[in-house]
Amino acid sequence: MKKKIEDALNEQINKEFFSAYLYLSMSAYLEGESLPGAARWMEIQAKEEAEHAMKIYTHIHERGGRVYLKSLDGPEQTWKSPLSAFEDALKHEIFITESIHNLVTLATEEKDYATLNMLQWFVSEQVEEEANARENVEMFKRVEDHPQGLFMVDRALAQRE
Ligand code: OFO
């Protein structure tokens, strides 16, 4: 595996673990807001992000590369409302999509077809992640300032498997 690709994939591992950290921080915030369903949704999302990081980790090793774990930035600890936490989650997913697309461009330029193939999974996953994040934002927008509605949204989010 070319050094350029190895470095870029190592960067992405850091971003995926940061995503896990960010969503776990959002989960803790939502727990404190007495929204256990939303907190659970974010906790599951955090676990998925760690799995994303591990997919890239495995790919690097399978290709004879080397993983170098970098330090993680501290995520935000609090938000002004549950809606603003979910809006930040959507912004973050858009940022991650851009990062994946940049990796696709690099792998194409470097003719690294195995990495390109691995990244296709992430391209599809990001479509789903952004769609979910957008749906959540819309749900929270509709129930802003309606405690009863907020309760219903929390119950719906608790259903995530
Ligand atoms: Fe890893 O997909 Fe979200 O960030």
Contact 61, 67 (CB under 8 A): yes
Each residue's pLDDT tens digit, 80-119: 999 999 999 999 999 999 999 999 999 999 999 999 999 9
Whether pLDDT at 61 is above 90: yes
Which of 129, 130, 132, 134, when mutated, tests ligand 1's pocket best, judged by the most ligand atoms within 8 Å of its CB? 129
What are the CA-CA distances from residue 148 to residues 41, 80, 139 (Å)?
19, 19, 13
Distance (Å, whole) CA 30 – CA 43: 10
Among 49, 51, 132, residue to substitute to test ligand 1 (most atoms within 8 Å of Cβ): 49
Shortest-distance atom of ligand 1 to CA 126: 2
| CB of 19 shorter than 6 A to ligand 1 | yes
**Alpha-carbon gap, residue 1 to 8, rounded angstroms:** 11
Pocket test for ligand 1, best of 11, 93, 95 (most atoms within 8 A of CB): 93
Class assignment of domain 3-157? Answer: mainly alpha
At residue 69 the predicted structure's pLDDT band, cuts being 50, 70 and 90, is: very high
- Which residue minimizes the CA distance to atom 3 of ligand 1? 93
Which pLDDT score, from 0 to 100, does residue 23 have?
Answer: 98
Rounded to 5°, angle at Cα 127 from 121 and 129: 95
C-alpha gyration radius of the chain: 17
pLDDT at 147 over 90: no
Token pair recorded at residue 106: 């690099």
Ligand 1 near 93 CB (within 6 A): yes
